[in-house]
Amino acid sequence: MEKKCPECGDKIVGRVDKKFCSDGCRNAYNNRVNKDSKNLIRNTNNRLRKNHRILEALNPRDKTKVSRAKLIERGFDFNYFTSIYTTKKGTVYYFVYDQGYLPLEGDYYALVKRDN
């Protein structure tokens, strides 16, 4: 049975388990299938990436304290985070992937990095 490339339709020559006729077709197919097709998803992912970069830049030693004004000045958006961690004492940390922040008194935040 003759197999056809799912991207261009050309005949596939080579190994039995080969799925595409070339690396170009494989890349084009995967880029098309995996692209963020909706603006909402793309914009949310961009916002999360930006928040992560800001936290990472302000927290080089894995634990620090920073003002709310400094976060906002850099463009941090408090509406976008990936998870919430509540300690046994009830303290609530907000995380953007491995970078987290804890609201403190006086418009300050403790920045932390989660260990893997």
pLDDT surpasses 80 at 36: no
**What beta strand segments (E) does 1-116 contain?**
63-67, 83-86, 92-96, 99-103, 108-113
Q: What is the pTM of this model?
A: 0.71
Averaged over 62-69, what is the pLDDT? 96
Res 58: pLDDT: 97
Mean pLDDT over each residue of the chain, to the nearest integer: 93
Res 40: pLDDT: 83
| Residue ranges per structural domain of the chain | 39-113
Residue 10: count of CB within 10 angstroms of its CB? 12
Q: pLDDT band at 37, cuts 50/70/90?
A: low
pLDDT surpasses 80 at 78: yes
> Maximum CA pair distance of the chain?
71
Q: pLDDT band at 35, cuts 50/70/90?
A: confident
Res 31: pLDDT: 85
CA-atom Rg of the chain in angstroms: 22
